[in-house]
């Protein structure tokens, strides 16, 4: 996320820059179906190349929630329900290919997802890849791991960093995990000897209001339809490898008001895995 503004893409203080080629094999660039919705100021999507076999598309209404609210390290009050909100004209639902997992994307966005079956066993199929905007900049990363493994461990007791919980919105029946939410949180972190504020947002069943490591956002679907050890759909920096960083909490809060994050948030709120 560090860098000067490029191609008019909006950041509060820092703007996204183009990343190097990421070498991902494309499982599915499309397999989407357009959803009818009130018109908005966005261009229709550029048709994406199809890859056989194409996943089946669905057209179920997306859900959203009231705008994010700022907070401190003290527990935030989650939104009680996610109320329906129309999406811009031309949004499409992308199907991962497992028959259970999908999300909606704005016109021109694409999802480059690679599937790999460990030892050729279908039940051990992992999915990894990036969701990119209309000019190819990574916006979100997706991982769904069924071959075994652990994403992260929130050890306790530990010392929770300075943290602001910005949003906790339940996903309800969209996800088999009953505690699944869209969460966004900013927390102080030092990387490579440099202090800063990390901005994390994604789908999760972890409690960001109390976790010692608030940046651990994941779903654990061992009992779910796809039997994933963990599943991620979360914001990434321009390199597509980690959360974006800001110089201060004020800058992180400012990013919430950008049009870029508004689109990312709608994608997260449309996530389904059931």
- Nearest-angstrom CA–CA distance, 219 and 227: 11
pLDDT at 223: 63
- Nearest-angstrom CA–CA distance, 102 and 96: 6
In the predicted model, residues of the chain with pLDDT beneath 70 are 1-88, 149-157, 222-226
| pTM assigned to the model | 0.69
pLDDT at 227: 77
pLDDT at 24: 32
- Nearest-angstrom CA–CA distance, 261 and 213: 23
Radius of gyration of the chain measured on its C-alpha atoms: 18
pLDDT at 158: 81
Closest alpha carbon to 128 in 53, 212, 138, 17: 138
Please, which residues bridge with residue 164 across strands? 186
């Amino acid at each position: 996320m560090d860098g000067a503004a490029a191609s008019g893409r909006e950041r509060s203080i820092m703007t996204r820059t183009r990343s190097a080629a990421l070498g991902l094999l494309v499982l599915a660039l499309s397999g989407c179906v357009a959803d009818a919705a009130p018109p908005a100021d966005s261009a229709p999507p550029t048709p994406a190349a199809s890859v056989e076999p194409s996943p089946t598309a669905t057209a179920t209404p997306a859900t959203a929630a009231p705008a994010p609210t700022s907070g401190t390290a003290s527990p935030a009050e989650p939104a009680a329900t996610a109320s329906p909100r129309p999406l811009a004209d031309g949004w499409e639902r992308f199907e991962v290919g497992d028959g259970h997992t999908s999300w909606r994307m704005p016109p021109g966005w694409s999802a480059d997802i690679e599937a790999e079956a460990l030892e050729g066993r279908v039940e051990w199929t992992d999915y990894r890849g990036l969701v990119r905007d209309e000019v190819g900049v990574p916006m979100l990363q997706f991982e769904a791991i069924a071959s075994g493994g652990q994403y992260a461990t929130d050890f306790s007791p530990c010392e929770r960093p300075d943290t602001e919980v910005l949003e906790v919105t339940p996903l309800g029946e969209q996800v088999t995990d009953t505690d699944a939410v869209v969460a966004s949180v900013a927390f102080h972190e030092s990387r490579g000897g440099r202090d800063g504020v990390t901005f994390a947002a994604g789908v999760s069943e972890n409690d960001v209001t109390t976790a010692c490591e608030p940046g651990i956002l994941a779903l654990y679907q061992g009992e779910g339809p796809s039997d994933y050890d963990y599943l991620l759909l979360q914001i990434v920096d321009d390199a597509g490898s980690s959360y974006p960083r800001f110089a201060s909490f004020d800058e992180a809060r400012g990013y919430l008001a950008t049009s870029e994050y508004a689109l990312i948030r709608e994608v997260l709120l449309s996530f389904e895995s059931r």
